[in-house]
Structure 1
């Protein structure tokens, strides 16, 4: 008999990176995301050099997932599949707690996750809200988490994909664009995939695994990984040469 294989332990580290790591070069300002600014007393040029996952945010997604599975209309759609994401950030002294879902429920003409699905969240109780910003269809017309205009490189593929991670960052940018210019104090994000039993979407199946309604193996897709670096750059435009 062949030797028994030891079961692979799941990755429990709450440090999945969204949009690459801090050693990468920012495509918006062309500076290293871990570079220290001139005359800043050792502070980084980018307030958010990398977007990490969070154990607390994963628990928020557990609560939302539980609510989704109790939604009879949603559960009845066995072909439903989407990414759900949550984000917490503090910008210019104000905290934000945002929820978004990828794609669109065409049958109900609404986002998959709605405010009614946000009950029972113990972390930052009562402070969560859904965001559904319009994702630009081309490489132009984008904006950062500080609401500044930015265009993506023409080589970035699938820019029109309405992914949860991108919606969260664009939604944050819409809320902070009129705030006074101060550093982003923190930004964390977590994602999870919801897959109905009859879905045939290979992008969702890739991160789903077998025999479950949802999966922790989800993280930002290739299209998100390429777009996120542009959106998290909070270097002021007048400091970019």
Structure 2
């Protein structure tokens, strides 16, 4: 019997950030996959990753490890993320890193060599609210996060990407897509990294890519909700 040829790994998006489309939205209380006629009530019910974004992170990671200044801190540990979105007729390509302010870990020089959407990437590092209120959605609507969220003030890359998108005040005519990928940066002499490595993804195409942490999984649904107030469910 002839041997079967090995199948290449899937390159389709296979990580979700902030839960699934079938989940109930904590902001508007509607199912995120609820339809309003032929369209979803939420413009994008879930946030997926993509192979292109994962490869962009590989390039950023390589640049970080070649940065002599960064290597002076060999114990550095942080999450990095990339986001692409198209809203109306405008495209957005953002990069963010968790923690450290006002100077983020990732800087413009670390974007060199990204072949996907070359030259379009922007580092964002918005301030993350230090309380449950004062947050804003990607539509720049004010929102208060749930009292049951642990780590609500954690300055993660995923929430920085979404808050950065809200800072752009996009015209909300049509969301064609919003995708995001994350990756853990672990310095060569980092200690006690178990809490960061726990977010590594699973699967043939993303064993090195990370899914959002528990605090982000709880916060992201609030930030991506664009349902108008008059459509909230009690």
Shorter-chain TM-score bucket reads 0.7 to 0.9
What secondary structure sits across from 1:158 in the alignment? coil
Matched, 1:194 2:196: no
**Alignment match, 1:149:** 142
What secondary structure sits across from 1:113 in the alignment? coil
**Alignment match, 1:130:** 123
Count of residues in correspondence between the two structures: 220
Question: Structure 1 CA distance, aligned partners of 2:12 and 2:74?
Answer: 31
Matched, 1:227 2:219: yes
**Alignment match, 2:152:** 159
**Alignment match, 1:5:** none
Question: Structure 2 CA distance, aligned partners of 1:36 and 1:12?
Answer: 28
> Any stretches of 5+ residues in structure 1 without a counterpart?
1-9, 210-214
Question: Structure 2 CA distance, aligned partners of 1:82 and 1:227?
Answer: 19
| Contact 1:24 1:32 (8 Å CA) reproduced | yes
Structure 2 counterpart of 1:182, from 164, 170, 173: 173
Question: Would you identify which runs of 4 or more consecutive aligned residues in structure 1 move more than 4 Å?
Answer: 10-13
Question: Structure 2 CA distance, aligned partners of 1:181 and 1:57?
Answer: 23
Compared CA separation, residues 24 and 130, structure 1 to 2 (3 A): same
What secondary structure sits across from 1:72 in the alignment? coil
Question: Structure 2 CA distance, aligned partners of 1:74 and 1:149?
Answer: 36
**Alignment match, 1:34:** 33
Question: Structure 2 CA distance, aligned partners of 1:79 and 1:144?
Answer: 33
Question: Structure 1 CA distance, aligned partners of 2:220 and 2:199?
Answer: 19
| Contact 1:192 1:218 (8 Å CA) reproduced | yes
Cα deviation, 1:147-203, whole Å, max 9, x if unaligned, reads: 101101111111110000000000001102xx4331322100000111012222432
**Alignment match, 1:237:** 229
1:1-241 matches, cutoff 5 A:
14-37=13-36, 41-104=37-100, 110-176=103-169, 179-199=170-190, 200-207=192-199, 216-240=208-232
TM-score by length of 1: 0.85
| Contact 1:193 1:208 (8 Å CA) reproduced | yes
TM-score by length of 2: 0.88
Question: Structure 1 CA distance, aligned partners of 2:197 and 2:172?
Answer: 41
- C-alpha root-mean-square deviation of aligned residues, in Å? 2.0
